[in-house]
Amino acid sequence: MPALIFDCDGVLADTERDGHRPAFNQTFAEVGLPVRWSEEEYGEKLKIGGGKERMGSLLTDEFVRQNGLPLDAEGQKEMLADWHRRKTGRYKAIVRAGRLPARSGIARIVTEAMDAGWSLAVASTSAEESVRAVLKHAVGTTVAGRFAVFAGDAVTAKKPDPAIYQLALRKLAISPPEAIVIEDSRNGLLAAVAAGLRCVVTVSGYTMDEDMHEAVLVVTSLGDAGEPARVLANRGAATPDEQITLADLDACRTQPLLQKEAV
């Protein structure tokens, strides 16, 4: 049975700029750190997979000394875990407040996939609590219960490492040709391709200019009535119009896997 596997942030909802970034900044204020990531600075931090890892990028020797932070590795690990728990709580509050609407076409394509008997999953290196909050907001609690969720510290290596997608394949008991992935970033695309998966990219606010040449299909969104999708690149047999259909995704799923071009 085919499987449709979504990334979370930037795919189910455009969460980074107005969700994760303010949650990080609110947490930094709460714990007394002189850090507030601007939209541009956070765009650079997104090159680092995982929230704890982004926070951990602050811990230079100078920053640690100036702010009286733990000097030992175990103390820093416990501190980062505490910061991340605080940040996750603040992020979930933003999601519950309805400030991060689902991206165009998500609910529609999920309904199409369920009606066709496809398996549904999310594979994300964000915290599982955060992923489930976004998923429920995007598709509703009942439909969210139909998804397998692979997230957070289920794997130690974050995207672009393929570990989260390899885990999803094992747990779903499927081979790569049986699945299609929807991602929004180059890191996510590289993770999917490294796991042998075909990938459709719906670019998001921070990823519009990233290189996505390994993707079978690159679009502005999945599209809905009144919110048409625009095709940015099509390297497969799909024939997308203003709404990306399950038939389009199925055509992408059966494409030969594109490898990185020589430079």
Q: Kindly list the catalytic residues.
A: 7, 9
Inter-CA distances, 241 with 17, 67, 104, 125, 252, Å: 28, 54, 14, 31, 14
Spatial separation of the C-alpha atoms in residues 146 and 117, rounded to whole Å:
11
Q: What are 180's strand-pairing partners? A: 4, 198
The SS3 call for residue 21 is helix
Give start and end residues of each alpha helix (H) in the chain: 21-30, 39-45, 51-56, 61-66, 73-96, 106-115, 128-139, 141-144, 163-172, 186-194, 246-253
The SS3 call for residue 159 is coil
Spatial separation of the C-alpha atoms in residues 257 and 215, rounded to whole Å:
9
Token pair recorded at residue 88: 């996750």
